[in-house]
Structures are given as C-alpha cells and as structure tokens.
Structure 1
Amino acid sequence: MPARLPSWAWVTGLTTGAIAVVAVLGVQADRGTQPTASTSRPSAPAAADAKPSAEPEAKETGAEPRESAVPAGSGTGRRIVYSLGTRQVWLVDASDAPRRSFEVWPGTVAPDPGTYTIGTRTEATTGSDGVDIEHIVYFAAKSGVSIAFSNAVDGSSPPPAEGRSTGGIRVAKADGEALWAFGTTGTTVRVVE
C-alpha cells in the first residue's frame, strides 16, 4: 500500500503551484503592449461642455468666452454656484474643484446673492410658463415666487414669458440631468453677482 501524503503537503504543493501560475501570468502581462503617456490634453466629453443652443459661440460673436474658474468669494466645499452676471452655474466638489460648468437662461425673478440650501426636488411638472419641465431643484423664494433650476423636457430654452413672474432657471437637458444628480436635498447653492 503506497504511503499517504499529509494534508499540509497537499496545501503547500497547491499554494506553490498557484504562486507559480500567477508569476508566469504577471511576466506575460509585463511583456504585453505598454500604454504611453500623451502630451496632449484630453478633451472634455461633449456633454460636459454643453452650451445652450440659443447662444452663439463666442468666437462667432466676438463676445468674451464664458468663465471656467469658480467665482472668488463663492464659498468652499461641495456646492452649486450660480453667477447672476454671467448667467452661469458651476457644480463644485468637496475639494473646491469645478466638476461641470454651463450657461443658463434665468426667469424674470432672480434670487438675491447669498447662500441657500436645496430643500425640495421634483422630477417633472409643468412650469409657470406652461412648458413641461423636469429635474426641478428648488433652492429659494422671492416675492412669493419659487426659484429653481430645471430643464425643459423637449430640450428647448424659451425666453421668459412676458408679463409673468417666473423663477425657473432653465438649463440644457444634459446639464439638467447632471444638476439633478449633483443637487441632492441639503446641497448648498451659492448665488453671486
């Protein structure tokens, strides 16, 4: 009758074999195609730089290009920054780095400069101007008008209705989706001049 190997010998043999297989695979992977560093800057995804279609490109009009830096004095930490003067929004992460920036179409009632908090979110409704909207993120009220970011369901960006008090700050559809994902209840909104 042949001698029986103890269990520790089997475990040691299997472990040694597994280590050898991993080492061989590692050597083969190391000999494969290696990535090379690129000296060119990566381009941003198209959605990250979406501009409202009603606004012509700055180079076509001779206008100043929109700002990419978060405005000074807009606070610190994770927040949404809305500039009344440039009609632009920044989604800023906890490390104070802007994650997305885009232009907006403000309503007829603007929030006062200051710090607000997102209190209510509504997935979809009809705006006070009769347009079907989605991704509504409420953060302020002024003169009895609720002020919120939203995008039109059809992606349009109509000018504010004449003679109506509207607090909707419209954004492009892709920007509305990004703002909805970023602007959870309790998120700080900083409005600056």
Structure 2
Amino acid sequence: MRAVPAPKVWVTGLTVGAIAAVAALAVQADKGPHPTAAAARPSASASPGASPAPTKSAVPAAVPDDSGSGRRIVYSLSQKRVWLVDASDTARRTFTVWPGTVSPDPGAYTVSSRNMATTGSDGVQIENILYFAAKSGISIAFSNAVDGSSPPPAEGKETGGIRTRAADGAALWTFGETGTAVTVVR
C-alpha cells in the first residue's frame, strides 16, 4: 500500500510554490518599464468670458531673488504666481493665481487678518481669505471660490481678490497665519 502525503504537506508545497512564482514575477516586473499616471486635474467651472485657468508647470518656478528671506508668502505680479517659502528659504508650494483689477504695490506686507468665508465683491462665495494690503480703499487678499470657479474679468469693478484654486487656497490658509510676511514683487 502506498502512503498518501498528509494534506498539510500538499498545502505547504503549493504555498511555497505560489510564493516562489509571485516573487519571480515581481522581479521580472521590476525590470520592465514603469508607467506613470498623468495627474488628473479637476476642472473648475469657469464663468463665460473667464480668463483661462492658471497652469502648473512641470518645473516649478524659482522664488524671485528680490523677495526677501525667511518664512513668507511671495506674490509676483508679472508671473501671477505665489510661493509659500519656509524659514530655510525653500519654496514648499508654488501656484498660479487670478489677480483682481487692483494690485498691491511691490513691497513688504504681513497678513493683517483672516476670514474663513464670505461673499466676494463679485458676488461669489469665497473662503480661506488672507488680507494683507489695501489700495485706493480696496482690500487686497488671497482667496478661493467655494465652487472652484475662476473669476470672470471685472467689467467696471475694482476688485482686490487674488483668487486661487481650492487646494492652493487651503494651503495658503494653513501657511498664512496673521502676521505672516507677504512680499510682493514685479
């Protein structure tokens, strides 16, 4: 009579074989090409006549040389771009923005106050509002639209809101406490 191996031996043998096969396939897969996923960007609902959405470049723009030093928010008027710079002068985040019709003069400011949410001068619900300047009686602040929309061009209105995407607005809110330095450059 022939001895039949115990079921444990069969299960153990099959398990060891399966692990070896998976390991061999993993080694082979690691040697092959690695696909990269394109970053999906949620589309913001733009109003008719709105300017095109700001874009994020593949290579982050360098923090402007004339923007000071230390922990600060840097806003470039010509690039329509913001940098969140840490104490070691390293940009932790950069993104493009939609400026209002009234721009701050180049110079040094601080976040003077914050407001979690309100209605913008254009009638849009906004959030993550960081006020840092005023010009001609117009308050200038960073904010993002609650609905994610970009502001339409202001026709005959003076607006000081510098709009961001929602994720960038949340990052600004976290970074820009009252008293945080803001540097505006050309």
The TM-score with structure 2 as length reference comes to 0.70
Number of aligned residue pairs: give it. 143
Q: Distance in 2 between matches of 1:51 and 1:189?
A: 29
Give, as a single letter, the amino acid of the residue that structure 2 aligns with 1:121.
R
Give, as a single letter, the amino acid of the residue that structure 2 aligns with 1:55.
A
Q: Structure 2: state its 5+ residue gaps.
A: 1-35, 47-51
| Equivalent of residue 142 in structure 1, options 135, 141, 153 | 135
Q: Distance in 1 between matches of 2:43 and 2:58?
A: 11
Q: Distance in 1 between matches of 2:86 and 2:145?
A: 26
- Is residue 55 of structure 1 aligned with residue 41 of structure 2? no
Alpha-carbon distance, 1:55 to partner: 3.1
| Equivalent of residue 81 in structure 2, options 70, 76, 88 | 88
- Is residue 174 of structure 1 aligned with residue 167 of structure 2? yes
Alpha-carbon distance, 1:68 to partner: 1.7
- Is residue 68 of structure 1 aligned with residue 61 of structure 2? yes
Q: Deviations over 1:100-127 (max 9, x none)?
A: 0000000000000000000110000000
- Alignment-derived partner of residue 117 in structure 2: 124
Q: Which structure ranks higher in relative contact order (CA pairs < 8 Å, sequence separation ≥ 6)?
A: 2
Q: Distance in 1 between matches of 2:107 and 2:68?
A: 10
Alpha-carbon distance, 1:159 to partner: 2.4
| Equivalent of residue 158 in structure 1, options 151, 154, 158 | 151
Q: Structure 1: state its 5+ residue gaps.
A: 1-42, 59-63
- Is residue 102 of structure 1 aligned with residue 100 of structure 2? no
Alpha-carbon distance, 1:160 to partner: 3.4
Alpha-carbon distance, 1:50 to partner: 9.0
Query: Is 1:50–1:102's contact at 8 Å kept on the other side of the alignment?
Result: no
Report the aligned-residue RMSD: 2.6
Q: Distance in 2 between matches of 1:56 and 1:122?
A: 24
Alpha-carbon distance, 1:57 to partner: 5.7
The alignment-based identity, stated in percent, is: 66
Where does 1:4-19 land on structure 2 (aligned, <5 Å)? none
